[in-house]
Amino acid sequence: MYHIGIDLGGTNIAAGVVDHQHKLICKASVPTSLPRSSQSLADGILELTRNMLEDNQIELSQIDGLGIGIPGTVNQSAGMIEYANNFGFDNVPFIGMLQQRFPFPIVAENDAKAAAWAEYLVGAGSGCHSMVAVTLGTGVGGGIILNGKLWDGCNSAAGEIGHMVVERGGRLCTCGRRGCLEAYASAAALVRSAREAAGQNPDSLLGKLCGGDLLKLNGKAVFQAVKEEDPTAKAVMESFIRYLAEGIANLINILQPEILCIGGGLSGAGDSLLLPLREAVRPMIYSKNSKVNTRIVLAELGNDAGIIGAAGLWLL
Ligand SMILES: [Zn+2]
């Protein structure tokens, strides 16, 4: 028997068939094509799933459940998506809509939490009891696993790591507060900082890399300019790492997880992000003299984490 995992994103809907050892058997994806009604989106998920099963000669009777990760606040017990900005969802009974279309049970969770769950099951946190995942994408998401359980909070909204304030009165965040980690340590924030710095220093390598068009600057250019020792890019990166380190040190000091896992698009920078980050976090750890401390590592599952984690929601 298999589970189906769906990773519902703003750009693509990805689906996969996952076995009970969390191994991805096959996957497929289609564009999300927003804006779109919730009913049409549910139809799209059904069609994608049907086609994937057909293409891989898997029968519906071999599936015993479907899990879906959604970028929003998911209230599984009420069957509601309480809020999903990308989709314009405001208390939409989306889980019920899916349930009407499929002959097996449906579970749903926030997408970042589903991806964290996958890393815990078979990725960077495999074999440990506690893990915090920090996902550095367009925003900053995450998931908290304590004693083998994904921590949901009293209202399913726990784990919003990106909305921890690291600079009181700082940059305005999409959530309405100022100075959130997301406003300083997301991919979007890094690009914003790089554009500001390049605008002020047009003769720097960072300024030259965009050929005078600040909108062309992306995260990759920043890492490249840092590699080439550009002082402007280095200052941008140092500030980015400092804010990220503040947030991560807060998480470690409160929760002391065995593993702190860094994922999302920016984690593709590998050691050039991980090594200075570890260096910056270490002095801020309250228990730094303890023999056992949290290990900061990179996520291992890449884009498949969303599918594997959603399919693995059945273990919660
Ligand atoms: Zn915020």
DSSP assignment of 261-285: EEESGGGGGTHHHHHHHHHHHGGG-
CA 258 to ligand 1 center in whole angstroms: 26
Supply the pLDDT for residue 85.
Answer: 83
Coil, helix or strand for 84? strand
pLDDT at 86: 83
- Looking at the fold, whether 291 and 147 belong to one and the same domain comes out as yes
pTM of the predicted structure, to 2 decimals: 0.93
Which bin fits 313, alpha (ψ -120 to 50), beta or left (φ > 0)? alpha
Gap from CA of 174 to ligand 1 centroid (Å)? 6
Cβ(290)–Cβ(254) under 8 Å? no
| pLDDT tens-place string over residues 45-70 | 999 999 999 999 999 999 999 999 99
The confidence score (pLDDT) of residue 280 equals 98
Do 83 and 140 sit in the same domain of this protein? Answer: no
Rounded to whole angstroms, the Cα distance separating 49 from 15 reads 7
Residue owning tokens 């509601």: 80
Interval 189-224: pLDDT, tens: 999 999 999 999 999 999 999 888 999 899 889 999
Whether residues 162 and 262 fall in one domain: yes
> How far apart are the CA of 22 and the centre of ligand 1, in A?
33
User: Same domain for 79 and 175?
Assistant: no
User: Per the structure, how many domains does the chain have?
Assistant: 2
Q: What is the pLDDT of residue 314?
A: 86
Q: Ligand 1 center to residue 168 CA distance, Å? A: 12
Distance CA 99, CA 96 (A): 5
Query: Residue 76: pLDDT above 90?
Result: no
CA 196 to centroid of ligand 1, rounded, Å: 21
How far, in Å, is the centroid of ligand 1 from the Cα of 172? 8
Both 239 and 145 in a single domain? yes
48-53's contacts with Cβ under 8 Å and 24+ in sequence apart are 48/13, 48/15, 49/4, 49/6, 49/15, 49/102, 52/15, 52/16, 52/17, 52/26, 52/27, 52/28, 53/17
102 and 231 in a common domain: no
Between the CA of 286 and the centroid of ligand 1 the distance, in Å, is 25
What mean pLDDT comes out for the span 127-131? 97
Q: How far is the CA of 199 from the centre of ligand 1 (A)?
A: 26
Question: Is residue 316's pLDDT more than 80?
Answer: no
Please give the pLDDT value at position 118: 98
Expressed in angstroms and rounded, the spacing between residue 85 Cα and the centre of ligand 1 is 13
Q: Which domain holds residue 18?
A: 2-118+304-315
In the prediction, which pLDDT does 197 show? 96
Mean pLDDT of the chain: 95
Cα–ligand 1 centroid distance for 180 (angstroms): 5
